[in-house]
Amino acid sequence: MTIEAATTLPDTEVSCPGCEACCCRLEVLLITDTGVPDRYIEVDKWGGRRMARLDDGWCSALDRNTMLCSIYEKRPGICRELEMGEDECLTERAARAL
């Protein structure tokens, strides 16, 4: 007996530059050292590290002119795992549209 894995193909209508960077409003915990420059890191009262966010909730590493990540090559692991057009991406886009 075989069990078929359910796969969801990414939505090809979604593109990061046209998205307004919904994912860049998420809280991003830094579990491992990814090389993120210190100026983009906040430390909470318990010593946990996370991506700094601006007063309006946007990630501090987001280039507001292009709406692209300014540290893309050194972005945190969780940012690398979130794939354009997949379930988590679409869920965030839908939540922002409300």
Can you give the pTM of this predicted structure? 0.71
What pLDDT sits at residue 9? 47
Q: Give the model's pLDDT for residue 52.
A: 96
Q: Where are the domains of the chain?
A: 16-97
Distance from C-alpha of 68 to C-alpha of 4, rounded to nearest angstrom: 37
pLDDT for the residue 18: 63
Q: Report pLDDT for 39.
A: 95
Q: What's the token pair of residue 44?
A: 């909470």
Grouping H, G, I as helix, E, B as strand and the rest as coil, residue 73 is helix
Name residues of the chain where pLDDT drops below 70.
Answer: 1-21, 97-98
d(CA 40, CA 26): 14
Q: What is the pLDDT of residue 56?
A: 86
